[in-house]
Every structure is written in C-alpha cells, then in structure tokens.
A and B are shown apart, each in its own frame.
Chain A
C-alpha cells in the first residue's frame, strides 16, 4: 500500500534545502520505509493496541540524587564558539 508523503513539507520541517533530484530520490526512499512500517498493521490483529515501546516496562525512575556531570571546560569543548562561558550560536531568526 503506497503511503502519501509531502516531501516539500517534510523537508521544510527538517530545515533541509533539497534539490529536485534529492526530493525525488528521498521521496522514493521514504516511501519504501513507510510501506515497510505499514506492514506491521497487516500482521497486528485488532486486539493488539498500538505502542511506541518495544519492551513492556513502566515506571523506570531514578532517585533524586545528584551525579557528577561534565566540567565546565568539557561541556564547552565541543562548541565551535563560546563567549563568557556560554555557547555562541548564530542569531536566531523566526522561521517563515
């Protein structure tokens, strides 16, 4: 069963500027993935509720106790730029 994909919308949500060739190729690839996922619906009977979890677990919690995190230096080590101990990022422009 083919699945409808609005590739323009998906690209916009992902903030990706795609060429026409890429749009066509990714549209086809995403279609295959969606069709594959849709097969679950064929084998899952009516009485099987949809789930987002592979393992039947609940209430996995941790006690409210501090654990060591990263040092300030280590936290910023991966930042391309920083200033005054903060991550520096390009100016924020509201989309559209």
Chain B
C-alpha cells in the first residue's frame, strides 16, 4: 500500500492595529455601528485618491523582519478586480508580483523538536467590508438579499504566505500559534481570531512519501480558530487519503469548513478560477523603503517568542510545553514574570498558569486580559499553598473565585473558611470519629494495605468541611493506627 505524506501551506491575514485605515483617515476600530467609519475613499466614490498609511508600512516591515524576510527595495500596489459588493470600488488594492517582504522563515516547536517553515512572502492589502446574507437561513445560496457594512473596508491587512513546508495538522496549529505570538509581540495587531483580526486559509495535498511533486491541492476556508484549523486539516487529510486509496481522482477546489458538522464541503472548483486582472494601481506610486529606516526598525524589534522561550528555559527551568504556552503571548509572559517577581516559585507559577488558570479561562471562554485576576492574586495563592495555610483543593476554589470576582485572596480564604486546620487537638476529635465510622479501611491500614489511608484522610477533610490539612491529618491517622 502506498504511504502518503501530507503537504500543507497556510495563508494568514492579519489586520493591523493602526489608528486609521490603509488609504484614508477613517478610524480603524472593531465593533462600531455599521457604516460610521467611512469616507469617499473607502466607499469608492469617483475621483478620490488613496494615500498609504505610513504606520501600516512600518508595521509590515516589522512583521517581515521578524519573519526573517528581505525587504524589497521597490514594491508596488496592484488592483485585484472582482465583482462582489464587499469592496465598493469593485477591486481590492493588494500586491502582486512585488510584495514588501520576501523569502523568510519561522521556527516552530512540535513535540520538543524545532522545525523551520519557510515564508514565501508578506504583502500589504486592504480588508473588505462585512457582508450579511439576509434571509431565512443566513446562507448565501438561499439569501434574499445582502447587507453591507463598510467600516472594515480599507482596514490595513497583511497577508503572510508560507511555503508548503508544513507536514501535519499539528504543525499547522503550531505554525499559526507562532505567527500569532510573533505578531502580538510586535504590537502591530491584536491578533484575535474570534474578532477576525487574525484569519487563516489552508492549502493541503497528499503525495506518495518520498515524492518531490505536489499532489492536487485543496484550499480550506472558514477556519475561525486554531482548533478549527487542526480539525479541518485532520478531516481533509483523511478524506484525501481515503480517495487516493480508493483510486478516486481529487479535484483542485476550495472547500468550506463546517465547524458543527466537522467536515469540509465544496465551495467552488478551481477550473472556474477567477481572473482578477491584476494591474498596477496607477494612483499609488511605488514603495522604496529607505535602507537606514529599515535597519532602524530591525534594531528596535522587541524580544520574539522563540527568544523568550529560550530565556524562560534558562532563567526559570520551565518544562518545554509550559514555556511554549507562557512565551506564546506577551500577556501570559508578562503575567508569569510579574508573578515570579512577587515571590512565587517559577515552577509553581507556571503550573498554576498553564493548568488551572488556562483551564478555567477556557471553560469560561475568557482571555486572560478579560479576567479580573492579577499577578498579585496568583502570587498570594502560591504563597498560601506553600506555607500550608490552604490546601491545594482550597487553593483551586480560591482561584475560581478570584477569576470570577477579582476579590482579595486572603479575604476569599477567610470568607470560604479555607484556612487549613493544622492544630492537632482540633483534628484529633475528627480523626477519632473517622476511625470509629470506617472499621474496614481502618482494618486494611492496620494490616499494611497503605492504599486505604488516602480514603481515611479524605474522610477527615470532608468532616472538616475541607479545612483540615491533609498532611497533618495523615500523620495523626498513622500515629493513631500504628499505636493501638
């Protein structure tokens, strides 16, 4: 049987967080009432003249340099012509054969191994307006009409195109995480996939292992999260492998990821590929970035996630998986460093953040920045566990409360009565009760079956309403059971 190798390339779109749009002075903001950030330029009125935003050019140069790209001495804007009402001009200003940044790479980590993924190009374009298909189902095909909001039309958009160097859905997810972390570290976009400021399309094909030729590729759209990307690619990998194994021909096409169904559906086939009639935008003179300016930007680049990971590894001896998460976003990295500065042991802070904090935020579908927890909260929790004031279980309760309300840690401990009872006389009575009520486990422990001790400790804690110090309870139990 033929073994297949998966070949994946990603196209990522990043909305830049400039104050204004790409070619006009309209405010660039998410969530404004429809058609309130518009002007004759972005509405495509006749006779208007676009002028590029210099900060957007600076931002794309930053992205290009961070991805190890060369910055083209001369680059051009092109018109990409198409008929669709999301751009009132009937064309989108983009770049074609002369993008701002070319030939870079990014290193990703998968299973502790570093893989280098090539970046073909990074180019500048403008985002399109937002289309709402109105009708009973909200689907394009059955819609009665469409509604257009042009607030997003003309927002600076950077497209990052990877080489087909990615070999698995897992690597694709790691690549997207690394791109997100890198762009976030540069401070040029808020890279929120849920708000569309980071979007991603994937190209995937299969070929016999060892072959140099590329197979028939499928483009997948509508990937709204890193999880969707990984799921869609896993589905498509299996679909293509099954087709190839059955001798069915694959067609080059665009497929739509359906998150609820967990499958991809044909959107359009490439045979009817659009003829975009690219031609140089006559209203926009070429970009010829000054070398000195480019070098000054290079010199001012912040610490990137890969360097941050290396530093976390060296300074704090974190587990690689934890370093990957904590260095994966500036927000998490800053929170971690701050918690450690406030006295928390790095390993404990990292454990709390990557497990309980991340888990609770996931469950609540919250970002760290949107939760009221501060590094001081976490440092307090770590300290109270360390000095046995609260149990691990109690600490988890405190964390949940802090994540919900932002209340002071010591106050939550008092309010919920989570302070551990380590006082032996206070515990002795409870222990006597537990011993009296559980003759079988007691008997087992006496006979040397140590497993039962955990059960008895649990009973003591339960009786104490969660406040008994398990370590002290266990010591006392052992003392009492070995004595008689």
Question: A: which residues have CB within 8 A of B?
Answer: 13, 15, 52-53, 55, 57-70, 72, 75-76, 83-92, 94-96
Contacts and interface: CB of A to CB of B under 8 A. Distances in A.
A69 B38 contact: yes
B286 A64 contact: no
Contacts of A67: 20, 24-26, 39
A95 B146 CA distance: 16
Nearest to B149: A86
Given A72-B36, A91-B144, A62 B285 contact: no
Given A86-B148, A89-B85, A59 B288 contact: yes
A60 B52 contact: yes
A86 to B, nearest CB: 4
B38 A75 contact: yes
Which DSSP category, helix, strand, loop or mixed, fits chain A's interface? loop
Given A60-B284, A60-B285, 4 more contacts: A53-B280, A83-B134, A85-B34, A91-B146
B376 interface: no
B222 interface: no
Interface string B75-87: 0100001011100
B51 A66 contact: no
B19 A66 contact: yes
A72 B287 CA distance: 33
17 contacts: A15-B83, A53-B285, A59-B285, A60-B284, A62-B54, A64-B20, A66-B19, A66-B20, A67-B25, A69-B39, A69-B42, A70-B38, A83-B134, A87-B150, A89-B146, A91-B135, A96-B272
Contact of B54 (A63, A68, A86, A90): A63
Nearest to A96: B272
A39 to B, nearest CB: 19
A58 B287 contact: yes
Contact of B268 (A15, A53, A94): A94
B52 A62 contact: yes
Nearest to A69: B39
B33 interface: yes
Contacts of A61: 51-54, 57
B132 interface: yes
Nearest to B134: A83
B34 A86 contact: yes
Interface string B1-44: 00000000000000000111000111100000111111110110
Nearest to B140: A92
A59 to B, nearest CB: 6
A13 B90 CA distance: 12
Contacts of B53: 61-62, 64
B56 A64 contact: yes
Contacts of A84: 34, 147
A7 to B, nearest CB: 15
Contacts of B455: none
Lowest 4 A-B CB distances belong to which pairs?
Answer: A67-B25, A69-B39, A52-B280, A64-B55
A70 B150 CA distance: 12
B163 to A, nearest CB: 29
Given A69-B26, A75-B43, A91 B51 contact: no
Contact of B25 (A57, A58, A62): A62
Contacts of A69: 24-26, 37-40, 42
Contact of B35 (A58, A64, A76): A76
Contacts of B35: 72, 75-76, 85-87
Given A86-B148, A88-B147, A72 B52 contact: no
Interface string B264-287: 000010001001010111101111
Interface in B105-148: 131-135, 140, 143-148
A23 B144 CA distance: 33
Contacts of A60: 51-52, 284-285
A75 to B, nearest CB: 5
A2 B326 CA distance: 65
Interface in B63-92: 74, 76, 81, 83-85
A92 B25 contact: no
B51 A70 contact: no
Given A60-B285, A61-B51, A64-B20, A87 B40 contact: no
A65 B26 CA distance: 9
B146 A64 contact: no
Q: Which of A62, A67, A72, A89 has the most CB of B within 10 A?
A: A62
A72 B272 CA distance: 38
A95 to B, nearest CB: 7
Contacts of A70: 38-40, 43
A88 B145 contact: yes
A66 B275 contact: no
A88 B52 CA distance: 29
Contacts of B275: 13
A55 B285 CA distance: 8
Nearest to B78: A52
Q: Which of A66, A72, A90, A94 has the most CB of B within 10 A?
A: A66
B33 A89 contact: no
A85 B42 CA distance: 17
Contacts of B43: 70, 75
